Amino acid sequence: MRVIPRLRGWRAVLALGAGAALALSYPDFDLPLLGWFAVAGLIYCSLGAGIRHAAACGLLFGLIFYTLTLPWIYTVLREYGPLPAWQAAALLVLLALAGSVFFALFTALLAWHSRGSERLALLAAPFLWVALEFLRTHLPDIGFPWNLLGYTASDNLPLLQLSSLTGIYGLSLLVAAYNALLIWFLLSIIRTTSRSKGHPLATPPALLWLVATVALIAVALLGTPLIPEAEPTHVAHLVQTNLPQSMSYQPDWDAVHAADMDELERITTAAGQARPGLVIWPEVPAPFSLQQAAFAQRAARIARESQSHFLLGIVHWKSSAGRLRPFNSAALLDTAGLESLVYDKIHLVPFSEYIPGRDWLWFASDLTALVSDFSSGTQYAVGRLPGGRFSVVICYEAIFPDLVRRFVGDGAELLINISNDGWFGRSSALAQHVAMARVRAAENRRWLLRDTNTGQTVSVDPYGRIVARLEPATRGVLDAPYAFRSDTTLYTRWGDWVAWLSAGVTIALLLAARRSQSNLPAGASNKKDETDDS
C-alpha cells in the first residue's frame, strides 16, 4: 500500500500552501508557529515523487515564499530606481527563482532519498535543509541568508538562547527536525489506522512527537524566568536622522537640507551634553564624507560640543588599485573631534551597492547604471571606547552570523549596527532586519546598538531582548542602555559547527542511500516503509 500518492496537482497545491505558510511566519505577518508546520508540507509532497516533479514543487514553494516575504525589493526598485514596472518585476522574479533553487534541490534530494527508504529521507531532511541554508549563506558575492528557518523560532526568548551554543543554524535544525518528525508521526497514524493494528498514538513516532511537542511547549512557556536580566552600565544616544531617501543627491543638497542638518546637530549635541559618552548616527543616509570640509567641520563640532565620542556613517574615498574608490564606511571621532577609527564595509549588498554579473543583466540596464559602485573593505576593525572595545557592522552585514562572530572573536565587547533602512519605507523589511540582528546579539552574548535612518532603532541586550526602541519614521534620539561584555559563547568559539555537522551528515546519508538503492532489486523502492512503523 502506498501512503504517498503520485498526484501531481495535489503535490503542487501542497507546495504552494507550504510556501505561503512559511512566509506568514515572518514579519509583518507574525505567525511564527506556522514555521513549525510549513516545511512538513514540503517534505510530504517530496516523498515518493519523481525527482523532476519534486524539484518543481520546491520551485513553487520558493516562488510563493519569496514573493510574500520580499515584496519590498520590487518597491525599492520601482521607487528609487526608478525602474519600469516590468524590469522591477523581472528582477524580483529572477531573485525569487535564484533563491528557489535551494528549495528545489532540497525536494529533489529528498525524493531521491525516499526511493530507498522514507524513514531515511525523513532523517536526512533537517540536516539537508541546514546544509543548504549554509550554502545559500556562503555563495560568493550573492549569498543571501535572509529569513532562514531558525528565525521563526527566534522570537521566543527561551528558544533563542540555543543560538549561543549553535548559532542560527541550530534553531533551523530544531525547527526542520520537528517538521520531519511531524510527517513521520502522521505517516505512522495513517498506516496504523489503515491496518487496524494497535492504537495510532502508541507507535514510536507518535510517542516521540508527543514528547518533543510537550518539551518545546514547556521550554517556550516556562523558560523566560530562567534567563538573566542584563545590567547596563552605559547609555548611548542613537540619533534617528529621518532624512529623505534618494537614489542620487543634487549638488546643492547641503543648502537645501541646511535646516535638517542644523536640527540634527542640535539634538545630537544636546543629548551628549546631558549625558556625555557615545552619540551615533546611522549608515550614511545622505552625501556625508569627512573629506568634505564643511561636513567634517560639523562632525568635529558635534563631537567636541557634545563631549562625546561620535560614530557616524560616511562615504570614505581612498586610493585602491591605482584609482580613487568609494567605500561605505563608519568613522569614530573622539571627544576632540579627531578621527580615531574608520571601518570599511566588508560585505556589500548585491544589486544595491554593486552589481554581481553586471554584464549578464542586459534587461536591467537602468538598474546597472544607477546602483552604487562601492568597493569592499577587508579589515575586521575593532575600536576602543571608554570602558571597552567595540565593532561596527553596517546594514546588511548583520544578517551574516560568521561575519559578526569574527568581530567578537577579534575582541569586540559591544556590537553596533548602523543601517539605512529608509530604502524599505514602512515595509516588512524593517522588522525582518531587526529580528535577524537580535539573533547576532544572543549568539555572541553581546549588547547590540542598532541605529537607523528611519527605523527600527533599538538597543538589544545579550539575550536578544529589545530593551529600548524609537518609533519608526520619526526624527529623534534614543537613549540606549548598553554594557561591555568579554565572555565567550560556544558559538563564538566554534562558529557554524552545526552547519558543518549537517553538511557532513547529509553527505554520509546520501552515500548510505546510494549504497542501499544499488542493492535493491528493480521495483523494490519504498517496500521496507510499507511495514508497520511500530
C-alpha to C-alpha distance for 161 and 219, rounded to whole angstroms: 11
Q: Which residue type sits at 350?
A: P
Nearest residue to 144 via CA among 94, 89, 106, 178: 94
* Per-residue b or e along 225-249, where b marks 16 or more CB atoms closer than 10 Å to that residue's CB: eebeebeeebbbbbbbbbbebeeee
Decide if 93 is inside a domain: yes
What average pLDDT does the chain have? 89
Residues contacting 212, CB < 8 A, separation 6+:
178, 181
Residues contacting 472, CB < 8 A, separation 6+:
426, 430, 454, 455, 456, 457
Q: Kindly report, residue by residue over 276-314, the tens digit of the pLDDT.
A: 999 999 999 888 999 999 999 999 999 999 999 999 999
| Helices 401-409 and 429-444: angle between axes, nearest 10 degrees | 40
**475: pLDDT strictly greater than 70:** yes
CA dihedral 74, 78, 84, 87 (to 10 degrees): -30
Kindly write down the DSSP assignment for every residue of 428-452, as one continuous string.
THHHHHHHHHHHHHHHHT--EEEEE
Report the range of poorest mean pLDDT among 4-18, 163-177, 190-204.
Answer: 190-204
Decide if 192 is inside a domain: yes
CA dihedral 290, 296, 299, 303 (to 10 degrees): 100
Decide if 123 is inside a domain: yes
Decide if 45 is inside a domain: yes
Kindly write down the DSSP assignment for every residue of 471-520, as one continuous string.
-TT--EEEEEEE-------HHHHH-SHHHHHHHHHHHHHHHHHHHHHHTS
Percent of the chain with pLDDT over 70: 90
220 and 256 housed in the same domain: no
**531: pLDDT strictly greater than 90:** no
Average pLDDT of 110-115?
93
79 and 156 housed in the same domain: yes
Decide if 134 is inside a domain: yes
At residue 305, the pLDDT reads 98
How would residue 529 be classed by pLDDT, with cut points 50, 70 and 90? very low
209 and 326 housed in the same domain: no
70 and 174 housed in the same domain: yes
At residue 3, the pLDDT reads 45
Catalytically annotated residues: 283, 345, 395
203 and 334 housed in the same domain: no
The widest CA-to-CA distance across the chain, in whole angstroms, is: 83
**4: pLDDT strictly greater than 50:** no
Decide if 92 is inside a domain: yes
- For the record, the C-alpha cell of 506 comes out as 547529509
How would residue 532 be classed by pLDDT, with cut points 50, 70 and 90? very low
Average pLDDT of 67-81?
83
**1: pLDDT strictly greater than 50:** no
At residue 359, the pLDDT reads 56
203 and 249 housed in the same domain: no
**Residues 147 and 432 sit within 8 Å (Cβ to Cβ):** yes
**525: pLDDT strictly greater than 60:** no
**503: pLDDT strictly greater than 50:** yes
466 and 499 housed in the same domain: no
Dihedral sign from CA coordinates of 119, 121, 124, 130: negative
How would residue 88 be classed by pLDDT, with cut points 50, 70 and 90? confident
Percent of the chain with pLDDT over 90: 71
Average pLDDT of 250-270?
93
How would residue 202 be classed by pLDDT, with cut points 50, 70 and 90? low
Q: Which residue type sits at 17?
A: G
Containing domain of residue 130, as a range?
A: 8-227+493-530
Report the range of poorest mean pLDDT among 148-152, 187-191, 472-476.
Answer: 187-191
461 and 508 housed in the same domain: no
Average pLDDT of 35-54?
95
Q: Which residue type sits at 45?
A: C
65 and 130 housed in the same domain: yes
Average pLDDT of 506-529?
70
Average pLDDT of 202-220?
89
- Count how many domains the chain has: 2
Decide if 368 is inside a domain: no
At residue 530, the pLDDT reads 37
24 and 105 housed in the same domain: yes
172 and 321 housed in the same domain: no
C-alpha to C-alpha distance for 236 and 483, rounded to whole angstroms: 10
Decide if 357 is inside a domain: no
171 and 115 housed in the same domain: yes
- CATH number at 296 reads 3.60.110.10
* Per-residue b or e along 100-116, where b marks 16 or more CB atoms closer than 10 Å to that residue's CB: bebbbbbbbbbbbbbbb
Does residue 200 have a cis peptide bond before it, meaning omega lies within 30 degrees of 0?
no
At residue 251, the pLDDT reads 80
Q: What are phi and psi of 83, to 5 degrees?
A: -90, 150
